[in-house]
């Protein structure tokens, strides 16, 4: 994984996993921590991105939202 993706994983506490599957012809898959969704698609915590720049822009604090988990 690239240094940038490693850095995002380390600094953005709402990101659980980043899987770079571009070598297999897929995208970069970002999975958010439980309790986090993408702001523009509530209920969605997994999203594919084509580039590292898109991951960086699409996972900012403004692009995600935290919600309460009811057990």
Q: Which residues pair with 17 in a beta bridge?
A: 31
Q: What are phi and psi for residue 45, nearest 5 degrees?
A: -115, 10
13 and 61 Cβ atoms separated by less than 8 Å: no
Q: What is the pLDDT of residue 4?
A: 93
Tens of pLDDT, residue by residue over 1-45, are 789 999 999 999 999 999 999 999 999 999 999 999 999 998 999
pLDDT band at 70 (very low <50, low <70, confident <90, very high): low
Q: What is the pLDDT of residue 69?
A: 64
**Domain count of the fold of the chain:** 1
35 and 69 Cβ atoms separated by less than 8 Å: yes
Q: Is 71 inside a domain boundary?
A: no
What's the pTM value of the predicted model, to 2 decimals? 0.91
Domain assignment of residue 62, given as a range: 3-66
Q: Is 42 inside a domain boundary?
A: yes
Q: What is the pLDDT of residue 27?
A: 97
pLDDT band at 67 (very low <50, low <70, confident <90, very high): confident
DSSP 66: E
* Residue entry with tokens 């692009």: 63
């Amino acid at each position: 994984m690239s240094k940038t993706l490693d850095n995002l994983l380390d600094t953005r506490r709402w990101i659980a996993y980043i899987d770079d599957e571009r070598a297999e012809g897929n995208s970069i898959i970002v999975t958010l921590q439980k309790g986090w969704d993408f702001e523009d698609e509530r209920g969605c915590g997994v999203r594919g991105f084509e580039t590292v720049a898109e991951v960086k822009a699409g996972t900012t604090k403004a692009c995600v939202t935290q919600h309460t988990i009811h057990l």
